[in-house]
Amino acid sequence: MFAFGFVKTILVSLFKKPATLMYPFKQRTVYKNTRGSIVIDLPNCIHCGICAKRCPTNAIVVDRQVKKWGITRSRCIACLNCVDLCPKKCLSNNNAYSPSVTQKISELHQSA
């Protein structure tokens, strides 16, 4: 009796459309409220470090002395905590996902 449940599931699955897209051939629809990647407007940043202190995964690094701001995209969980807490509102959320990576690297941005 137990095997007949599996047969029904297999037959139903054979005639349904696949649940996944054929990525990268078919791109996924990006909606307005999609949480994508964090973007910084570096000229407006005062390098206060609040975003780095409140990041739950320690993905953001801020160095006030040399005016550097960095993010490790593979650590970022897109919680948008940094975007909400930024006093100058120089951090924002891009609704496009970060490109795929093969190495864990940090992006460093330096003010002039």
The boundaries of the domain holding residue 62 are: 36-112
Whether 62 is in a domain gets the answer yes
Whether 93 is in a domain gets the answer yes
Reported pTM: 0.70
pLDDT at site 29: 79
Whether 108 is in a domain gets the answer yes
Across the chain, what does the average pLDDT equal? 86
Whether 20 is in a domain gets the answer no
Whether 28 is in a domain gets the answer no
Q: What is the CATH number of the domain that holds 42?
A: 3.30.70.3270
Distance, CA of 9 to CA of 7 (rounded, Å) = 5
Whether 100 is in a domain gets the answer yes
Whether 105 is in a domain gets the answer yes
pLDDT tens for residues 13-29? 888 887 787 777 887 77
Whether 6 is in a domain gets the answer no
pLDDT tens for residues 60-80? 999 999 999 999 988 899 899
Return the higher-pLDDT residue of 85 and 102: 85
pLDDT at site 3: 64
Q: Look at residue 40 and tell me whether its pLDDT is greater than 60.
A: yes
When divided into structural domains, the chain yields a total of 1
